């Protein structure tokens, strides 16, 4: 009753289309749930049909590469990513993580991972934003896959945003030094599922994968909310 009254005063809106949610809908409306551009990459596993997998060939040994959605610079996906990153919608990240994690678990992938690790923000950026937009997605995935997740294992020691004025070559050389593993004992011998919000070139995930593998992690897979 009180909840109904509240939702009348402050209707919850869909994070993908900004329309008012109907009773029983959470975070994303039924229409958007149907229309979001899903990649369905989990259906292809680690084969040549998985275009995301191919992007890591010759760069980093990645066991599986998945993304929940196709990246779109406009429309539903853009709105979802924007709210996740700039509007404090951390629960939305968890919700998407649980949905995707459930899907991955249904297709037998839970047995392939031991630990979920989100790509970290630099501590100054984390302080400014207040949260890491990839943490929620990592947490939701881990919950659905019934494995652990940790935001303490990996650290971003260089703020790459301050590197953008440098030449491309310099940046490429720097990227390998951007991430360090703080707790090698936590990843040693484990199969890690590395998580980020968006994948564009894959350079960030690649750098994280190298850092993890150098620290004794046995295998790295990657997944994002959206991939270009």
Site residues, Zn ion (CB under 5 A)? 14, 16-17, 29, 32
SS3 105: helix
What is the closest distance, in whole angstroms, from the C-beta atom of residue 29 to Zn ion in the complex?
Answer: 3
Q: Are 216 and 69 within 8 A, CB to CB?
A: no
Minimum CB distance to Zn ion smaller for 96 or for 213: 96
What is the closest distance, in whole angstroms, from the C-beta atom of residue 38 to Zn ion in the complex?
Answer: 15
50 DSSP assignment: -
Count of C-beta atoms within a 10 Å radius of residue 7: 13
What is the closest distance, in whole angstroms, from the C-beta atom of residue 11 to Zn ion in the complex?
Answer: 13
- Cα distances from 14 to residues 32, 132, 195, in angstroms, run 8, 21, 24
Minimum CB distance to Zn ion smaller for 20 or for 201: 20
Minimum CB distance to Zn ion smaller for 16 or for 195: 16
What is the closest distance, in whole angstroms, from the C-beta atom of residue 197 to Zn ion in the complex?
Answer: 19
What is the closest distance, in whole angstroms, from the C-beta atom of residue 16 to Zn ion in the complex?
Answer: 4
Minimum CB distance to Zn ion smaller for 35 or for 152: 35
Minimum CB distance to Zn ion smaller for 29 or for 227: 29
H helix or E strand, kind and range, residue 95: helix 90-106
- 147: which residues sit within 8 A by CB, 6+ positions away? 110, 113, 114, 115, 116, 193
Q: Are 142 and 170 within 8 A, CB to CB?
A: no
């Amino acid at each position: 009753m009180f909840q109904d009254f509240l939702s009348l005063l402050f209707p919850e809106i869909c994070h993908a289309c900004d329309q008012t949610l109907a009773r029983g809908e959470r975070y994303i409306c039924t229409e958007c749930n149907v229309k979001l551009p899903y990649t369905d990459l989990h259906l292809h596993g680690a084969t040549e049909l998985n275009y995301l997998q191919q992007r890591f060939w010759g760069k980093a040994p990645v066991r599986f590469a998945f993304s929940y959605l196709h990246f779109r610079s406009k429309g539903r996906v853009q709105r979802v990513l924007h709210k996740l990153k700039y509007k404090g919608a951390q629960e939305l990240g968890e919700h998407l993580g649980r949905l995707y994690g459930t899907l991955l678990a249904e297709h037998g992938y839970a047995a392939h991972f031991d630990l979920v690790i989100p790509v970290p923000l630099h501590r100054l950026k984390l302080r400014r934003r207040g949260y890491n937009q990839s943490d929620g997605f990592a947490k939701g995935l881990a919950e659905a896959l019934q494995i652990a997740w940790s935001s303490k294992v990996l650290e971003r020691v260089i703020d790459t945003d301050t590197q953008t004025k440098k030449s491309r070559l310099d940046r490429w050389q720097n990227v390998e030094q951007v991430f360090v593993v703080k707790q090698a004992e936590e990843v040693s011998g484990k199969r890690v599922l590395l998580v980020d919000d968006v994948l564009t070139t894959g350079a960030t995930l690649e750098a994280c994968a190298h850092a993890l593998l150098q620290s004794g992690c046995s295998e790295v897979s990657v997944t994002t909310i959206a991939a270009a």
